Amino acid sequence: MKATAKAHTNIALIKYWGKRNEELILPTNSSLSITLDGFYTTTSVAFDEDLSEDIFVLNNEVITGEAYRRVSRFLHLIRETAGKQNLYARVNSVNEVPTAAGFASSASGFAALAAAGTRALGLDLTHEDLSRITRQGSGSACRSIYGGFVEWNMGEREDGTDSQAIQIQTENHWDVRVAAVELNSKMKKISSRAGMKRTVETSAFYSGWLDSIPNDLKEIKVGIATKDFEKVGAVAEANCLKMHATTLGAAPPFTYWHDSTMRVMQTVQEMREKGIPAYFTIDAGPNVKVLYLPENEEQVEKILKDIPDVQNVTLSKIGPGVTYL
């Protein structure tokens, strides 16, 4: 009744931005990501008949409060699926997602927890089954089950049984790199959960965002299949800008950007003017991720590190899906 799994973070090129069902975590649009090899979580789950509640240890620290409840609620879903409602677990997680890189660890965290938890209870699941369960821990985590290029199909059914990710290309298809640019910032964060909820409910631009998704997905898939970096980068950057535009149309309006976020965005656009193909994308926070090709790595890293207010630049290749240790 014990298993250990490792899962990597992912970065969306076509963003998931909005839920149609908060409880089941069903999205309002399909999304597409790449899995990153530099950032991962390793999690052991041991179910034990002698335990009267779950225990969650993260980076050698016993976790309580909301983070604990989220993990315990998710374990409950796994227990129900296995028909073992009263069996509690000891969860030990180690995050290799440097907070300095500005990545949320929920994607790799829930993917590793789902993989280890289901394996520990002897559930024999396909990757699609596992992705569907993982989705209910954290939406974007359902894409981290797979390596390479991954699409989360939003599905149509109300019970969520057709909302899961699939792999569209493996990590060996194409060597695209990502630089995670962390900025000095002390602004209060609006969580992705709260940000997307406000946007879905109030943004004047939300329907425009949704209307633009099918074509963005179609275009980026052509770009990935033909390894057309300019196309993939341009579609991803424009999709990110549209997502962030929806927050400006919300009531009350908000933005995740800082002045330094815009400085990085402008620097990336200037790189292109100088002939270095590089494109940015940004999640629900001020930090920027920059897509580039391996032959430009040195230059891209240097230019990004020289921007005022940049605290850290972490480079990553495309990474694999969930593995069991």
Residues in touch with ligand PMV (CB under 6 A):
12, 15-16, 31, 104, 106, 138-140, 192-193, 283-284
Other CB atoms within a 10 A radius of the CB of residue 37 amount to: 15
Q: How far is the CB of 86 from ligand PMV (least distance, A)?
A: 29
Q: Which one, of 18, 17, 21, 28, lies nearest residue 159 by Cα?
A: 21
Q: How far is the CB of 141 from ligand PMV (least distance, A)?
A: 6
In terms of CB distance, is 3 or 107 closer to ligand PMV?
Answer: 107
In terms of CB distance, is 88 or 280 closer to ligand PMV?
Answer: 280
CA distance 304 to 271: 10
In terms of CB distance, is 237 or 283 closer to ligand PMV?
Answer: 283
Q: How far is the CB of 257 from ligand PMV (least distance, A)?
A: 13
Query: Is the separation of the CB atoms in 115 and 7 below 8 Å?
Result: yes
Query: Is the separation of the CB atoms in 262 and 321 below 8 Å?
Result: no
What is each CA distance from 203 to 195, 196, 255, in whole angstroms? 11, 10, 12
Q: How far is the CB of 144 from ligand PMV (least distance, A)?
A: 10
In terms of CB distance, is 4 or 106 closer to ligand PMV?
Answer: 106
Q: How far is the CB of 139 from ligand PMV (least distance, A)?
A: 4
Q: Which one, of 201, 189, 206, 304, lies nearest residue 246 by Cα?
A: 206
In terms of CB distance, is 25 or 91 closer to ligand PMV?
Answer: 25
In terms of CB distance, is 163 or 192 closer to ligand PMV?
Answer: 192
Q: How far is the CB of 36 from ligand PMV (least distance, A)?
A: 12
Helix (H) or strand (E) holding 134: helix 127-135
CA distance 160 to 173: 30
Query: Is the separation of the CB atoms in 43 and 111 below 8 Å?
Result: no
